[in-house]
Each structure stands twice: as C-alpha cells, then as structure tokens.
Structure 1
Amino acid sequence: MRLSKLSLAMMAVFGGGICAEAMALDLYVDAKTKQIFAEPGPGRTKLGSFEKVEDTAAQKAEMQAQKAEAQAQKAEIAQIREDLALKNNELKALDEHIKDPKFSELELSEKGIKFESKDGNFEMAINGRMQVDAQMNVKDANTTTGSTPNSTQQLADGANIRRARLGVEGSFFKDYEYKFEYDFSRGNGSVAAGITDAYLNWKGYSNLGVKIGSFKEPFSLEEATSNRWLTFIERNMAVNSFSDNPNAYKTGIGLSWTEPRWTVTGAVMTEPVGGGWAYSTSKNGNSVCTNAGCTTTVVVNSNGDNNRNGGSGDMGWEVTGRVTGLPWYEDKTKFLHIGASGSERFMPNNLGGGANNMAYTAAVNSNVDRTSILNTGTLPLGSTLTRMGGETALLYGPFSAQAEYIQTDISNSSNATNARFADGATLSGYYGYVSYFLTGESRAYKAKTGAWDRIKPNRNFDGKGGLGAWEIAAGYDHLNLNSAGINGGEASTAKFGVNWYPHSHFKFMANYIHVLDVQQANTTLGGARGASWDGGNLDMFEMRGQVDF
C-alpha cells in the first residue's frame, strides 16, 4: 500500500510527539546567569538528561499521607501558637497587676517595710517596735528612818518588755492617710486597751490635716515626741503624770495646720479606746479607799470594755490644742523651738463611780518597777481639769537643750463628789535637760509634728571604724501633786544618760536616776507604804535595748 506524503507527514509528527514524551529531556545551565534552559546555546553547559517518571499509586498514597500529616502538624502548631498567645496575654496582665501596684518590690523606709503603687495612689507600711528594759536599784527605799523596809516598801529589780508594738500605716488616693497600731504590752486583760493609734487622716490640702479615730492628744513637746526618740528612757514626771499616765491616746476628731516653721493642732476627744481614762484606788477589791491601812492600786482603763453599759455613765470629754514655732532658724541643725499647749477636760458626775475616776500619779522615772510613789487619789467627779504647758528647745549642732512647764488646775462644780478635795487646786511640774553627741550628729526635728525625730548616725557601727552615734545627757525634773487638800506628794530627780545608736533603727540606753527627797505624807492613800517613801532618796540604774522598723 502506498501512503501519500501528507499521511507520512502526519504519522511522523504524531510519532515524534510520542517519542518526545518517552525521551529524556536535556537541560542546560548558563555559566554566568545560572539559569536553566531546555535548549543548548552560547555559554550553556549541559546538566544532563532527565526522564519524566509517572508517580505510582503507592507513591501517591504516601504523598497524600505526608500532606495530611503536614496539615495536621500545621494545625497543631497553630493551636500551640494560639495557646501561647493566650498565656502570654495572661502573663502580661499578671505582670501589669504586679508591676502597677509594685507589690513585687519591697522598700525598707523610715515608715517601715513599705509597699507602694507606681502612680503613688496606694501606700502601705508595716511598722513595729520592741523595747526591752531592765532596772537595778542601788537604794530602793527610805533607809534614813533607821527602820528596815519590807518588800512592799521597796522598788524591785528586774527586766520586762516595756513596749511591743506592731502596726500598719499608709495612704490611698494620695489624700487619705490611715494608721493602726497595737501594743501587746499594755492590754492589761482588755484586748481593746492595747490599741494606740487607729485613725483616718484627710490631707486634701497640703497644710491641712483632719484626723478621726484614736490618736495621741496634741499636748507637750515630750509627749508629741515618739518614745523611740526620747533622750531618757522614761518621760519626765510632769509629762507622765499630766498626759501619758491617763493615756494620751484618746478617741476624737483633730485638726492640724502645718507650715515649715510653725504648727497649730487642736482636737475634741473623749476617753481612750478600751474603757475609761481613769484610775482607781482600792483595798481588797473595794473602789473606795478611806482608811490609813489601805493599799493604793492603779488601774489603767479599768472598764475592760469598749462600750458603755450597766450604768457606766456618760463619757468625759476634752478640748486640747498645741501651737509650736521656730522663731530663730538658721538651718536644720541650728534653731530655737517654742510652743504652748492647753486643755480643758470635763468629767461628768455620772461617770460610773470610783472605777472610772481620774487620778494623777507618777513613778520617779523608774522603768520596770513603775510604782506610783506620787498619787493624788481619785479626783472629784463633776470636776473640770484645766492644763496649761509651755515648752522650748534649742538645737545647736551636736548640742541640744529642752525644758517644759505643765500646770493643772482643778475646779469643782457645785455638785462635785468627794468632799476630801477643796476647789481651786493647782498641781504643777517642770523639767529641763541638755544632751551632746560625741560623734557629731544633731538631733533630728520634724516640722510637721513640731517634735523630735529619728537619729541617723554619721557612720553606722560596722566594726571597721564606724562607731554609730554616741550621746550623753543630764537632766532634772520636779513634780508637785500637793495643793488645796490634795496630798499626792512631791519629788525631784536628777538623771544622767548615755545613748548609743549603732544604726538608725537600733538604740541602746543607760540611765542613772537619783531621786531627791520624796515628800509623800498621804497616809490616807498609801498607808505604811506611802509613808515609807517620805523623805527617801532613791537611786536606780536603768537600761534599754530598742529595735524599730
């Protein structure tokens, strides 16, 4: 059979296509550009011949399985990424929660262990103090009479925890301050009686403070100074008798205005938290002590109750104020401080009987045996007690001097109880002392309170040349609780002290107290024990170790 030329051409083309598919494909690479070509050309080098191979069914299945596995892994990775993103957001939120209030960061400041928010809206500090005291009596009774005093007529040697306080203080929204403090050494069986500060203070204006709650009455320089910064172990007799012993922490509302060089503070206050502000005298549990053989017992906050009940009577109240200023001020180590305090206190005649009465008492600067050698006995209910005080202090580098005078006038109303006391009695006391820092420091002054503040040594004690701060002091004080039928007694003391501050938060004190001629003729209150102190010259050595934060 003959084929036409057209048929031959068509067969050739068709056959060539089939052969092209079956034939290997030659590939060439350009030496310069590294591009791949299917045809030869100048500068191209043959890579080789490549034959197309069809995928088998097994290969296709394997590829599909690999593809499915890859997709599954991709989905798993996506889920992991999503989970990580959620965890990351949670961590960021937690981090912001922690970092914003700064609760993860602690700071030891002058206010204690302090927590503070980044924006300053919230602040809280945990503070505390512990004072461990000891007393050794060189002469502990009146031996000038020639008689041997019995155990009840002597001061006792020993040691105790004078104060053990823990509290929190701070602010919220910048304008509101708060403080709560509890003294575990002063409860005397009543939980509430251990509360010292428990107040809120608004300071929306930088100079103005409005305080509500339980806080210290604004009276006296030495009372306004924290017991942590006192020069001597115990406050002087006049301050102890007229302010501290009746409990300076009372419940009320106070206003204060402070400037860099002067302060004005006032308060309207009732009784201390935990019961009456009073003392009582008793014999064998009786509230009235009238015979010569009875024993005087001082009871602080004797109610043991924070509320009124059972005919306990109305609360007494007082208005108290204090003004301070710096008439001469060169710098923070050279200035003169002056101040005045005043108080009007009224005790209603239904205050609740002898257990809630008021009495002025005083120990003779003793810190462990705090026997009230001077004691007015309970004052008449219905009386008005008017206190007045003047204060001054000079600071000149390492040298300082301080003095105060306090007077209390007692006015009886027409229906005042207890005819033993005449109307118009005046009780008074004063003190003065000087101190000097051998290591060159100066006492620190806080203008906001018009009182002394924390001592910071120039060099802390470190055993490598740092000695801490060393201070010596000498003072004299006098208290007279005899007037218009009130025979509370009279005494003077001379004292010498050495203080060592190894660190601003640690303090060690040593005092030598010499009591000059106690005049205690009140046999009605003290009986044989009271008479045993009359004419006595006592000597005692006292020590204190203190830590605060």
Structure 2
Amino acid sequence: MKRTAPRLLAAAIIATLANQAHADVALDVIGDYEVSFEGLVQADGNWYNNDVVDLNGSSGNDGKDSEFEMRRSELVLKGKGTMFDWVIGYDAKANKWLDVNLKWKLGSNYVQVGQFKQVNSLEELSSTKNNDFISKAMVTNTFGISRRLGVTYGDGGKNWGYTANVFGRELTRNLGQGPGFGGRFYYAPIVGDGSLLHFGISAVDYDTNSDTQRWRIRPDADLATARLIDTGNILNTDRNRTFGLEAAWVGGPFKVQGEYMRTTTTRTNNTSASDWSGDSWYVSGLWNLTGETWGYKGGTPTTPLPNDPAAGMWQLGIRYDDANLNDGAIKGGDEHNITVGVNYYWHSNFKIMANYVAVSSSKFSSAAGANVSDDPNIFETRLQFFW
C-alpha cells in the first residue's frame, strides 16, 4: 500500500485551511501579462471485487484487492495578455509535461503553438478537476488523444466554433507518438442561463507507432493493472482514423452528455490482412442536488462553484459506457459498464468523489474455445485539492 498520497493530500489541506482559499493564485502583472499559478492534487483509492482476472494482480500488493495512489500532482503557470496567452504545466506525479503552449489571439480566432489537448473528445477537453466521474469513460481513455505538440487554428462565437490542427508526439519522450491532423466543429442552438443544447463532430488521422497498434482498456478504474478487453498487437499497421460525435443538454441542475467514436486502423500495403475497426460510446447524467447549473465555454460545459461555499455542492451521477474491440479475426472483446457516483465540492478548492462500477465483459479464449465472461465490481474514491 502506498501511504504517501493521503499524507501529502492531508498536509496540503491543513496548510490551505490556515489561509483563505482561492480558485487560483494571482502572482503579479509582468509586462502585459497577468501571471497566475494553479495546482491540482488527487489521491485515489480502488477496491476490487474480482471475478476471473485479478485486476490488481501485478501491482505487488501481496494479493490485496485494493490500491491507493497519488493520481495527479499538477502545477501550472499561466500568463494572460491582450494579444498572447501562455501556459506551462507539469505533472510531478507522472513526470510529464501538461499544456505548454502560446496562443496568439486574433479577434475571435486564434493560433496556438506548443503542446495542448487534441480536439476529438468532449470529455478530454473538459477540465480534469471537474470530471463527472473518477475515471473517464472507456471511449475517452481509448480513442481520445490527449496532449500532443502541434499547431492549431480556431475560430468561434458564443454558441459555435471550430478548430483544425496538425500534431506530432508528446513533449515528454516515450509517451504518445505518431504525427497526424484533426479537427472539431461544434454548435449550440440553445445557450442561456441554465439552458444548453450542444452538438459536435470531430476527426483525427495519425500514424501508428512502428507499424504496430494495440487497443486495450482498463475497466473504468485508473489504478487497475489488468485490462479485460485487449486486441493484442495488430501488426503491419499504417494509420488510425477516428470519427466522433458528441452531444450535451443542460436544464437547470441537470446535465446529460454522450459521445460516440469509431476508429479504423488501416494496414500497410505489404500485407493482405484486413483493416481493423472498433467503437465505443457513453451516455451520462448528472444532477446538482444543491441547485447549481452549468456554464458553457469553448464548446464544453463548465462546472460552477457552490452557491453556498460553506455548505458545498452535491452531485449525483450515473453513466453507461460500452466498448467493442472485436473485428474479424481479431477478438479483442467487448465490455459495458454502469457507474454510479456522488461528488461533493466544498468551498473553491476541495472535492470528494465516490464511484461504484459494475463491469460486464466478454472476450474469446483460445484455451476455452469460447467467449469467457468476466464481471467484477469496483468501488473507487478520490480526494482532491485544487487552487
């Protein structure tokens, strides 16, 4: 068991309680830039009720069905100016760079250079500190592309926008690789006080790494060391092409959100093997029990602060997500999960989350000569401190 994460989080909470909490720390005005400092600390705990596969089997926990770990420790320095914005972010837990880029603002449009989140996932583009559930949906973790080095051009208004970009590898070496390009367009026919209807489409196309591609998915548990569905290595691959659809609706304290993505991995010309295709999707619903509603910015719903900071904001959520990695001779398996959760935001800096995940998966076993079901249950918690 790793005990440093809870201790570090407790120390951060105690230190902050001694002072007035704020959502971010304004440092100074340097030149034309308002410079601020932000941070995010998350500590997670997972408890597994295994079925067939030991979801924690390779973690060295002596057979224990639980895992505790610092999930993120992010430090972000930002500068906001009249013509340019810049950001430098680093995750000390994962030892990797986050957003590191410069944005040139040209009226309603902009050009951005550096490392930034790519455009093919509504959930990925939303702020990590305001995730509706502890683990992002399977479609986001599988087919969504996070941060890459590149250049993007974007334009938009209050209720519409588009981006087009080219990208390469991640800034941190030995992580995401494969140059490509992508784009996203969104439109919200309804944007008002407590009302939203949003639609979006996206596409990315990028090279596979070393002509090999592997698709595998954790069962909505970020600390799990095993995957229940897995294509294995697909050889002689050329490119991955992912198309996505997204939608969101807000009515007062209620939000419904969903995404669908389909990916095709094409083969090189020197093989007769067929291309592979798989898909994944989710639908989720969230209810702010304390009455708050959502905002809208840059094509994503934004989470509010509590109406009463001392009392906090309570949320109830439910999500159904599905993934299918079977295609032809490649039997990667299929999985569908139900997640129910409760979130509590206190003041501007603290969040407590609890999720229960019911997993239902099936994958072909060559030893059994048939599909084998594996249906574990997982209980998850998260303590979060951010400023």
Superposition TM-score tier, normalisation by shorter sequence: 0.7 to 0.9
Contact 2:365 2:371 in 1 (8 A): no
Aligned mates of 2:151, 2:227 — CA distance in 1: 31
Aligned mates of 2:162, 2:56 — CA distance in 1: 50
How many residues get paired?
365
From 279, 283, 301, the equivalent of 1:432 is: 283
Aligned mates of 1:115, 1:149 — CA distance in 2: 44
Query: Which of the two has greater strand per residue?
Result: 2
Correspondence list, 1:51-450, <5 A: 110=23, 112-117=24-29, 121-137=32-48, 139-142=49-52, 151=57, 156-172=65-81, 174-187=82-95, 194-203=96-105, 205-243=106-144, 248-277=146-175, 316-329=178-191, 331-347=192-208, 352=210, 357-415=212-270, 422-446=273-297, 448=298, 450=299
Residue 365 (structure 2) pairs with residue 503 (structure 1): no
Please tell me the residue identity of whatever aligns with 1:391: E
TM-superposed CA distance for 1:359, in Å, is: 2.2
Aligned mates of 1:180, 1:381 — CA distance in 2: 37
- 1:457 aligns with 306
TM-score (norm: length of structure 1): 0.62
From 355, 379, 384, the equivalent of 1:541 is: 379
Please tell me the residue identity of whatever aligns with 2:196: F
Contact 2:86 2:101 in 1 (8 A): yes
Per-residue CA deviation, residues 281-340 of structure 1 (Å, 9 max, x unaligned), is: xxxxxxxxxxxxxxxxxxxx6xxxxxxxxxxxxx731111111111123x1311101111
Contact 2:286 2:315 in 1 (8 A): yes
**Partner SS, residue 374 of structure 2:** coil
Cα 1:380–1:336 shift into 2, 3 Å: same
Per-residue CA deviation, residues 508-535 of structure 1 (Å, 9 max, x unaligned), is: 111010002x112255xxx89xx99931
Higher Cα Rg, which structure: 1
Cα 1:533–1:496 shift into 2, 3 Å: farther
Please tell me the residue identity of whatever aligns with 1:337: H
Please tell me the residue identity of whatever aligns with 1:441: E
- 1:28 aligns with none
Q: Which runs of 5 or more residues in structure 1 are unaligned?
A: 1-106, 188-193, 278-300, 302-314, 462-466
Cα 1:384–1:234 shift into 2, 3 Å: same
TM-superposed CA distance for 1:543, in Å, is: 0.5
Per-residue CA deviation, residues 408-436 of structure 1 (Å, 9 max, x unaligned), is: 012212135xx7xx323210011001111
Per-residue CA deviation, residues 175-224 of structure 1 (Å, 9 max, x unaligned), is: 1111111112223xxxxxx1121111111x22111111111111111111
TM-score (norm: length of structure 2): 0.87
Runs of 4+ with deviation above 4 angstroms? 107-110, 148-155
CA RMSD of aligned residues (A): 2.8
Aligned mates of 2:373, 2:110 — CA distance in 1: 48
Structure 1 vs Structure 2: percent identity of aligned residues? 26
Query: Which of the two has greater helix per residue?
Result: 1
Contact 1:388 1:408 in 2 (8 A): yes
Contact 1:508 1:544 in 2 (8 A): yes
Please tell me the residue identity of whatever aligns with 2:52: N
From 300, 320, 325, the equivalent of 1:476 is: 320
Per-residue CA deviation, residues 118-163 of structure 1 (Å, 9 max, x unaligned), is: 9x812211111011100112x21229xxxx9995698941211111
Please tell me the residue identity of whatever aligns with 1:428: D
Higher relative contact order (CA 8 A, sep 6+): 2
